[in-house]
């Protein structure tokens, strides 16, 4: 549904800054990744009927922070190695349970 005027401003106010912008008087999604998962829009029946909130269950965004002692890319590589090792342990345990 297209939201214009006051409805567009109200819609924009329901989301984190930068998610919804007003272009030519119409509310448009500018950057869905900035959304914090707020469901505020659903509290307004006049907006809720025209908005569909979705989450991609298999899409994740990670931020890697480093104090500078270790390069963020190297941190990622090490983290992936640890994750692979844990997955291997669980896979072996599942194999034991299913045999």
Q: Which of 21-26's residues contact partners 24+ apart within 8 Å by CB, and which partners?
A: 26/2
Is the overall model pTM greater than 0.75, yes or no? no
Instruction: Give pLDDT tens digits for 70-96.
Output: 888 899 999 999 999 999 999 999 999
pLDDT digits (tens, 9 = 90+) for 54-64: 888 887 777 88
pLDDT at 69 over 80: yes
How long, in residues, is the chain?
A: 99
| Residues 52/41, Cβ–Cβ less than 8 Å | no
Q: Tokens for 70?
A: 């270790």
Least confident of 22-26, 45-49, 65-69: 65-69
Q: Where are the alpha helices (DSSP H) in 1-99?
A: 5-13, 45-48, 72-98
């Amino acid at each position: 549904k297209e939201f214009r005027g006051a409805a567009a401003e109200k819609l924009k106010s329901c989301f984190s800054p930068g998610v919804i912008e007003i272009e030519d008087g119409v509310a448009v999604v500018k950057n869905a990744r900035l959304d914090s998962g707020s469901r505020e829009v659903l509290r307004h029946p006049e907006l809720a009927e025209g908005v569909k909130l979705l989450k991609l269950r298999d899409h994740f965004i990670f931020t890697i922070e480093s104090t500078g002692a270790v390069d963020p890319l190297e941190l990622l590589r090490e983290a992936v190695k640890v994750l692979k090792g844990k997955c291997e342990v669980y896979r072996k345990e599942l194999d034991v349970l299913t045999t």
